[in-house]
Structure 1
Amino acid sequence: MAKILVLGGSFAGLTAALDLKRKLKDKADITVISKTKNFVFIPSLIWVPFGWRKPEDISFEIKPMLEDRGINFIHAEATKIIPEKNQVETTAGTYNYDFLLIATGPDLNFSEVEGLGPHNGYTTSICTVDHALHAGKKWDEFIKEPGPIVIGATQKASCFGAAYEYVFNIEYAARKAGIRDKVSITFVTAEPFLGNFGIGGVGNSQKMTEFFFKKLGIRGITNVAIEKITEDKIYLSNGEVLPYKYAMIIPPFLGVKAIRDSGIGNEAGFIPVDDTYKHINYDNIYAAGVAVAIKYPEPTPIPIGVPKTGYMSEVMARVAADNIASRVLETNHAKKLKFEDIAPLCVMDTGNMGVLFIASRVFKPRKYHILFPGPWSHWVKVWFEKYYLWKMRNGYSQLP
């Protein structure tokens, strides 16, 4: 019986584990190791600061769902991977594997900018449940004494979609709170243009984003790095200094410390893989989701990263799981899919509106791209949140 370890309990990790169990049944012993005990529908964290979602609305406990399906669950953090011994060291002990699938997600690199982040800095974040709750506390304080708002993403960041969603949602929240006329809203990004999203834009996304920024009175500053942040000011590389009373800035991502300490990732701790999502140097290690090393296809004046959304993570996980299962079953079938050939599907919420993005591949050139703006897009995201949580809570990873 093959021993398969899956590191991570989010989109990629759960999808891979469930797919592997479905394909291999009793031919493999599958264990998921995750430092978090709950699955969180991360795209909905943008609503938590405004009280439109509570953490329990967008999460569920992983262990019962997995163990009901014959998958082991270890609530622990991986601390080191030893590929020469086929071992993973964790805070709960050391585990052996025949195949390892790394789906750990990222570490948040707040140290990239002095003063960044909710822990040792001055800005808020929506990257985790705790961060979103902290952002909500700061928002409650802010609406009592409003002032300038700055939302954005730093140099080397990749999760631009969340920053855009948040700036539109905070504008909507300010209107609902009756303080919109008392606040200025500025969006700061390392992207070369608005609507780039870390993938070079989609169709007329630049013009569309610029139009909505102008319509809603949001100032956009592109192609800048953030040099430092103080208690009430953000210093930009173009020499401009932005005052603020409330700021949410997306940091760059790193590969998790276990990867960085193990020497199996690139300089940022992400896993280099081939088109089967197998490590380029280790034959029995695979990776999926944010843990995978992806480069932006062309240099930009200010360095930016490439987003790896929940949908993209699922696609990568399915390919990796299919290839591990094929090797266990000795069917000699290798499924290949380049990251850039994934057909992205994304719903960007803007408060009471939204935009649905569909494209033939992540990067240009593309055979097609479709953008559907409108209020119905908001309800598509609401519906998808409910559907996805139901799907994963019941272990139906095979569904779209």
Structure 2
Amino acid sequence: MGSVFVEISINHSSFRPRQLFVLGNLFDRLLFLELSVLFCLRVERNVSQIVLLSAIILFLFFLSPFWAGRVQATSLQQHTPILIKGDAGFTLTNGVAGGDGSFLNPFVISNLNLTSVGGVAIEIRNTTAYFIIRDVFISHSNYGIMFFNVTNGEVSNSTLYQNSHGLFLLYSNDSIVFDNNFVGNTVQANDTGAVPNYNSWDNGYGGGGNYWSDYLGVDRCSGFNQNQCPDPDGIGDTCYRISGSSVSADCYPLMKPYYPDTTPPFWPTGSRLTAYHVTLTSLTLNWTLASDDTGVVSYRIFEGQILLGNVTANKSSFNVTGLTPATGYSFKIQAGDRADNWGDGPSVSISTPAQRPWYSNPAFWIGNWYFFVIPAVAVAVVVTIVLMSRMRKKRQSITTAYPNES
């Protein structure tokens, strides 16, 4: 019966951007069918059948809020085709919603609906900055997305529909493509000239790959090597080959259209955020690692509502500097996943010690010992010399007074 592409959003506690789904339109088609049959029966004046089908339609009508509570229709922002040349091209005009191009804070192009008949909907050239294209819907373009000489890119949570070319990577490296829907494109994707490094067309077994409408594989097995059978897991048992000279593949193709991850990372019971090495102006925070169904990718550290910094998922400590003596501080930690879901973690309150008088601080004496030891030694040497000189003079005077006794 085909599929209809719907832009929808899901309500949840975190501030997630709107998502794109590919949904089967069976419900709409059934409703249309019932209305059509009802119209025909009314023409034939079959009262009993009209009543029966009316009841069915009413049932479907009252059922619709149940689904509406889970998926709500919305519209992405319509945008003109985007052309970015070099890192300086990541601007608000070109659809960039945030980020600074660093590994922990990439540029983000999101929540857009684009079409470029005969052209390229999103074209990025000659960049090295980190960036993410997510939650976009691109259709009926010559090229949906094209990278030329690009590194550090990501395309996720997006749908490319009925373009001549869905996603084209040309002489580009170290980019990742996952959790997207490629449907009805003449050439779904192409990866050409990625030397010496390669692009990744999936996010590993735990993260999954993409949905390809022309994938002909089956799902009978599971596991990293898809060899635990029979145990279907929603991932195709064979790789989906990507066109182009780079011989790339999505080795974890999704059997059904991708539905975005909306579950934030969680923290085990008893998780703690602790402060140690507390000085007058600095301290070190250490925390229990969080967990996530698709994997934690980073942590955010806050002092009150102020973001102090981000660290990658393999870090569990953070140095805080620039504090004020005798001052109270509250710190908290958040964990984030690739879908930009953030889960609140433990918190801690701590006060920095007060500044002690210099003479009561061992660190002062230890750090400045030479200011006291050297003068003291000098004084001792001078006193010793003076005493020895006086004793020598005294012996000389005694010898002079009593020469015969010596």
Q: Same fold (TM over 0.5)?
A: no
User: Whose radius of gyration is greater, 1 or 2?
Assistant: 2
Instruction: Give TM-score, length-normalised by structure 2.
Output: 0.24
Instruction: Give TM-score, length-normalised by structure 1.
Output: 0.24
